[in-house]
């Protein structure tokens, strides 16, 4: 069949999602998919890209998408309805999956690796244990370096106000974020092959002031961590208002989409 004769996907990645979809695109560019494969998708969130993956593996395959939060699972099930019956959404902690779970041909997780706390290497090792020999694991996450311009400006404002304790907390938060080098080392130490780890920049648009402070992505995913460095809520607001007014110095706001991929040696 010619490429021009193929039907477009019924479950494409959502075009209006400016965060999960760009990361999922990196994941799918690396993930080797085909009809009949079994796939485990961890930290599945709103189903990006679980629905798309399920369509790609087809009715001969199976996809188990798990998330820790029941509300996310319920929303995905509501969207799914009676479609793609070989796709299951289940509430589960990816760090404590049932030991009798059958192995999978592929394991994925979009924006997942940063949640492998408190011991990312151990969580990854447990997950790889569910990968069939000859199988592939592909995960994405915002790696260390994401929004560095914001953290530099926040640290500068803290220093100007002698917020030493808050600076230390911010430094601890930044250092805790996983890097591409961490991912590469973990995959290699687990004895996986064909290890590939890449960062892909993604620019996020925002205006100054309240638009910045209440940006739907920046606030919930990142700026809240800066606020939590403070014990004094009023001081936190003063610092962050000063930072938000200085938008031009922080541009561009760059996130690093890191995609990590590796294969388990055949038996």
SS (H, E, C) the chain: CCHHHCCCCCCCCCCCCCCHHHHHHHHHHHCCCCCCCEEEECCCCCCCCHHHHHHHHCCCCEEEEEECCHHHHHHHHHHHCCCCCCEEEEECCCCCCCCCCCCEEEEEECCCHHHCCCCHHHHHHHHHCCEEEEEEEEEEEECCCCCHHHHHHHHHHHHHCCCHHHHHHHHHHHHHCCCHHHHHHHHHHCCCEEEEEEEEEEEECCCCCHHHHCCCCHHHHHHHHHHCCCCCHHHHHHHHHHHHCCHHHHCCEEEEEEEEEEECCCC
Q: What is the pTM of this model?
A: 0.92
pLDDT values of the chain reduced to their tens digit, one per residue, 267 residues: 333 345 667 899 999 898 999 999 999 999 999 999 999 999 999 999 999 999 999 999 999 999 999 999 999 999 999 999 999 999 999 888 998 999 999 999 999 998 898 899 999 999 999 999 999 999 999 999 999 999 999 999 999 999 999 999 999 999 999 999 999 999 999 999 999 999 999 999 999 999 999 998 898 779 999 999 999 999 999 999 999 999 999 999 999 999 999 999 998
| Structural domain boundaries in the chain | 3-142, 148-173+204-250
Homologous superfamily of domain range 3-142: Vaccinia Virus protein VP39 (3.40.50.150)
């Amino acid at each position: 069949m010619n490429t021009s004769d193929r039907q477009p996907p019924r479950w494409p990645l959502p075009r209006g999602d400016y965060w999960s979809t760009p990361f999922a695109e990196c994941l799918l560019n690396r993930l080797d998919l085909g009809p009949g494969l079994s796939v485990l998708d961890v930290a599945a969130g709103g189903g990006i890209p679980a629905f798309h993956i399920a369509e790609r593996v087809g009715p001969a395959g199976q996809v188990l998408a798990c998330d820790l939060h029941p509300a996310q699972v319920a929303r995905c099930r509501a969207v799914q309805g009676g479609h793609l019956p070989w796709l299951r959404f289940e509430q589960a902690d990816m760090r404590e999956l049932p030991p009798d779970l059958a192995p999978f041909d592929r394991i994925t997780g979009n924006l997942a690796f940063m949640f492998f706390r408190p011991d990312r290497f151990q969580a990854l090792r447990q997950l790889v244990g569910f990968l069939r020999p000859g199988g592939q694991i592909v995960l994405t996450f915002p790696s260390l370096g994401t929004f560095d311009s914001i953290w530099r400006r926040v640290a500068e404002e803290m220093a100007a106000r002698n917020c030493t304790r808050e600076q230390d907390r911010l430094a601890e938060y930044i250092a805790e974020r996983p890097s591409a080098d961490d991912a590469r080392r973990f995959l290699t130490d687990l004895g996986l092959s064909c290890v590939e780890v890449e960062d892909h920049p993604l620019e996020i648009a925002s205006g100054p002031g309240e638009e910045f402070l209440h940006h739907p992505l920046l606030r919930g995913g990142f700026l809240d961590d800066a606020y939590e460095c403070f014990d004094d809520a009023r001081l936190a607001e003063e610092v962050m208002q000063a930072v938000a007014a200085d938008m031009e110095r922080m541009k561009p706001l760059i996130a690093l989409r890191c995609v990590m991929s590796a294969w388990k040696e055949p038996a």
